[in-house]
Amino acid sequence: MALLEVKDLTKRFGGLVAVNEVNFEVEKGIILGVIGPNGAGKTTLYSLITGVYRPTSGKVIFKGKDVTHLSTHGRASRGLVRTFQTTSLYHEMTVFQNVEVAHHLFRKSREPEQFITTPGFRKEDGRVKERVAEMLDCFGLNVVKDELAKNLPHGHQRTLGVAIALAADPELLLLDEPVTGMNETETATMASLIKGLRDDNGITIVLVEHDMRAVMSLSEYIIVLDFGKKIAEGVPSEVVNNKAVIEAYLGTEEGV
């Protein structure tokens, strides 16, 4: 059974069909890329999968259960989590505080205990701080843990965004343009991090990315969208030579 199943997913905004009857599956343990020209519907598709938008029609099946009508938080609590193109950070908080707050949002303490300093709360709070320190060290962010998020260089901000998403303990992590705006060194670091999330942590990854070199090197399988429809899918070597994909990116030769 696939970890994620997208079935005939469609989203209309008035007369605009942003996503049009898209179908695909994501097997557990894979890194899958979603590509397409600007305006192809990639971010809308992510928003449908994670509950930001409700579909006009179609279903999202996660771990064999229909989650189409669950909220974003409801899906995240089941292990379906995403990052965003624009990194969502608490800019006036430190790096450590950003990841700590994210963990508290998903903590297991009962709500009243969040306002009463019980022994159970203090014990869990200590575990959270230990976990945050471990994550920052693993992500290479420990050296900037006391820096305000707004003062971080772009590459560190993107990495922090991934660390925040991991606070939800995802089984499936959707990365929205994780290397956008990065230089070559930052891109290589993020690519290594993404592979580590899958190889070392067992997290299944779906990524939208415009950097074709990065997406082709990272992805084991690729879905291609154009004008809201899936026009191709397959392993990178198949997709890069697909005529429909080439035409979507470069246009046809009509009129030449």
Report pLDDT digits (tens) over 49-102. Answer: 999 999 999 999 999 999 999 999 899 989 999 986 555 678 899 999 999 988
Residue 145 lies in a domain: yes
State residue 197's pLDDT score: 94
Residues of the chain with pLDDT > 70, as a percent, come to 88
Alpha helices in 16-118 (DSSP H): 42-50, 72-77, 95-105
Nearest to 151 by CA among 99, 102, 91: 91
Is 256 part of a structural domain of the chain?
Answer: no
Quick check: is 70 in a domain? yes
CATH of residue 85's domain is: 3.40.50.300
- What domain count does the chain have? 1
Q: Is residue 68 part of a domain?
A: yes
**Under 8 Å between Cβ of 191 and 217:** yes
Residue 255 placed within a domain: no
Rounded to two decimals, what is the model's pTM? Answer: 0.86
For residue 186, the enclosing domain spans 4-250
Residue 123 covered by a domain: yes
